[in-house]
Homo-oligomer: A and B are copies of this chain.
Amino acid sequence: MKIKLFPTIIFTFLFSFLAISQNPTKDSIMLKKLYNTALTDGKAYEWLDYLSNEIGGRLSGSVEAEYAVKYTEAQLNELGLDKVWLQPVMVPKWTRGFKEYAYIEGSSGIKTVTHISALGGSIPTPNLGLKAEVIEVHSFDELAALGKEKIEGKIVFFNRPMNPEFIHTGYAYGGASDQRFSGAEHAAKFGAVGVIVRSLSHKMDDAPHTGAMSYGSTPESKYIPAAAISTNGAELLSSLLKLDPNLKFYFKQNCKIWDDVLSYNVIGEIKGSVYPDRYMVVGGHLDSWDNGDGSHDDGAGVTQSMEVLRLFKKLNYKPKHTIRVVLFMNEENGLRGGRKYAEEIKSKNEKHVFALESDSGGFTPRGFSLETDAANVAQIRSWAPLFEPYFIHLFTEGYSGADIRPMKGNIDVLAGLQPDSQRYFDIHHSENDTFDKINKRELELGAATMASLMYLMDTYGAK
């Protein structure tokens, strides 16, 4: 792109900005202030730098998770909110132990090292590792059709890729993630000795992507170890299996499930000036996987949520409702923080009107996913013109966010920030989820977009 011809584009954009500013409303002016402040004087990026680079991966029960609690509590305390506190919650503690090690051993004895990552919640392999023949499958139906005879004593290799035809990558993820979450449970039924799952990513690289798994109703004595293999590793293993069906896979991991430990949700609030007993929540989750530094999942959501309250204070906006930022603990492998918060507002009978979560990465915001009734969807969609100057177009009905959904039934409106989804699963739950993948402006635009919806909900209330 060249500069000389830019005056035309400038003129065009100027024109559309002028068109808006010719009819400025209280709301359009407030949104402009929120975006301008986030982009010129934002703090989300600085906070995220600290969370990512000074603290790092923050798996529930880890020292890093506790550092993150202390850090965000201290930062919220500096914002001059009306109240900041920690909400205790017992969380699962699973540790990875030493770095996993794996190789493919051909019938001729040649070994090729591959990259794996134990799945969160998996048991370890025996101390000396586990070596067995491999059977590749693409679905639970295929697994069942093979049956015990073909599976017993083997490692089951789930290798169904994410479907690239879905434009929203979350959809492709949802369509492939049963293998990771329940693969071990299904394979154990047929006497498999271990499970290797293709990483949930569109990108072909060497980084394995971890994530939560569950043994479901499997008796503890039948638990088998489960790990993710990188997409390149999965392609290699699949190709080699075609040439050498009797090859063996070896892997060693010494992850461990411990007793639950005490942790916290971090909460801050600005008291409502008109409806102090009606609550609106903005949040993300403080815990992350341990292999990256959790910048996009969900350091971004945490710092964007903190930024919403900071922007309100900075602009001296006095909300009508009580606005809370909630930094939830343990979304990744338990959801205990989200459940705890929902239980407590129910037991205390705190009237919650609105909750907004950011947990899909800190990418350019595209809109919101709304979980509410038709009247509230219609009201929010009526605000679409206010969002147009910021290229926010999506007001779809659907899934809001894992941490806020436990409030469903006790809240009027749930919403999730929808950022652009294309890059998310390339880095998600892997060593690639690091701060260098964050674009400062994209993060800030997300925070401003959240603040804007929070402002509008506060101003007009739920239907």
Contacts and interface: CB of A to CB of B under 8 A. Distances in A.
Contacts of A391: 167-168, 366, 393-394
A165 B39 contact: yes
Contacts of A2: 212, 331-332, 335, 402
Contacts of A420: 364, 420
B9 A170 contact: yes
What does DSSP make chain A's interface, helix, strand, loop or mixed? Answer: mixed
Contact of A1 (B39, B168, B359, B426): B359
A67 interface: no
A100 to B, nearest CB: 21
A315 to B, nearest CB: 15
Interface residues of A, number: 70
Interface string A179-209: 0110000000000000000000011000000
A314 to B, nearest CB: 15
A35 interface: yes
Nearest to A423: B439
A39 to B, nearest CB: 5
Contact of A297 (B1, B389, B428): B1
A237 to B, nearest CB: 22
12 contacts: A1-B297, A2-B402, A3-B174, A3-B180, A3-B181, A9-B369, A12-B397, A12-B399, A13-B398, A167-B391, A364-B420, A423-B439
Interface of A: 1-14, 16, 35-36, 39-40, 164-171, 173-175, 177, 180-181, 202-203, 211-212, 297-298, 331-332, 335, 359-360, 364, 366, 369, 371, 389-391, 393-394, 396-399, 402, 405, 420, 422-424, 426, 428, 439-442, 445
* Ranked 7 nearest A-B pairs via Cβ: A12-B398, A6-B174, A9-B399, A3-B177, A393-B393, A8-B399, A10-B174
